[in-house]
Structures are given as structure tokens and as C-alpha cells.
Amino acid sequence: MPPDYSVSPSNPKTGETVTVHAEDADCNPRYGQDALIQVIVNDATGQMIIKETAPMNDAGGFTFQFTVPQQAAAGEASVEAVPYALDWCDDTGRNNRVPQSSGMQRASCAARTEPLTIAP
């Protein structure tokens, strides 16, 4: 499963910095030394305003910061953070990092998101 993560502050204005953070997992997920987290932020209209990758450690810990863009619509937004280029639905306990060129897609039915309310 993707690491549990938090978003703060939860009610930023445009131009403010937001931090997406996860502590190391207790279950030793073994993401690998070159692991990346992909963070996607959609604003209240559903428009993708952030789609970036950042380093993640072998245990799933990461800290990612972004500035809320001026064009972001005010209201209920969402933040999704998932291991990048990794089939995280496998439950075999193996490190199942797959090459980016494999064409594999995430197999989850529903993405886990955290709310972010962009203040007017």
C-alpha cells in the first residue's frame, strides 16, 4: 500500500507553501534506494495543478513541498501521493519495482487522497 501521509496546512491560500509528509512505514516495504513519490494535486474544479515526483526513502518516508499556484481554484482540492513507477497493489511482500518502460499501470480501484481546502 502507499505510505500514509499528511498535508499541512490544510487551508492554504494561493502562493503559500504546503507540505506533504510521510513517516517511515513499520512494515519494511523496501521501496528501493532510488524510490520516488508522485504527488498530484487537483483543485476544486478538478484541474490538475501539481504533478511532480520527489525522493522517497526505502521505508516510504518522504517530505514534499509545493507552492499553491495563483491559478488554483478556491475550495475543496485533493492531494494524492503514491510511489512512482511501482505496482503497489501486489501483496507478495517482494520489492516489485517495475521499469518505467513496462507499460504497467496502477491497479487500484480507488486512489487515496487527502483533502486540501484552498482559501479564497
Task: Look up the CATH number of the domain holding residue 41.
Answer: 2.60.40.1930
For 81-109, what is each residue's pLDDT tens digit? Answer: 988 887 555 455 444 555 545 454 545 44
More confident site: 119 or 27: 119
Q: Higher model confidence: residue 52 or residue 111?
A: 52
CA-nearest of 3, 2, 15, 4 to 118 is 15
Task: Tell me, yes or no, whether 88 lies in a domain.
Answer: yes
Q: Which residues contact 4 (CB under 8 A, 6 or more apart)?
A: 22, 23, 25
More confident: 85 or 116: 116
Amino acid residing at 50: I
The residue range of the domain holding 45 is 6-99+107-118
Residues with Cβ within 8 Å of residue 24, at least 6 apart in sequence: 57, 59, 60, 61
Q: Which of 117, 59, 65, 102 is nearest to 83 (CA)?
A: 59
pTM, two decimal places: 0.79
Least reliable range by pLDDT among 28-32, 35-39, 97-101: 97-101
| Total domain count, the chain | 1
Residue 34 covered by a domain: yes
Distance CA 46, CA 34 (A): 31
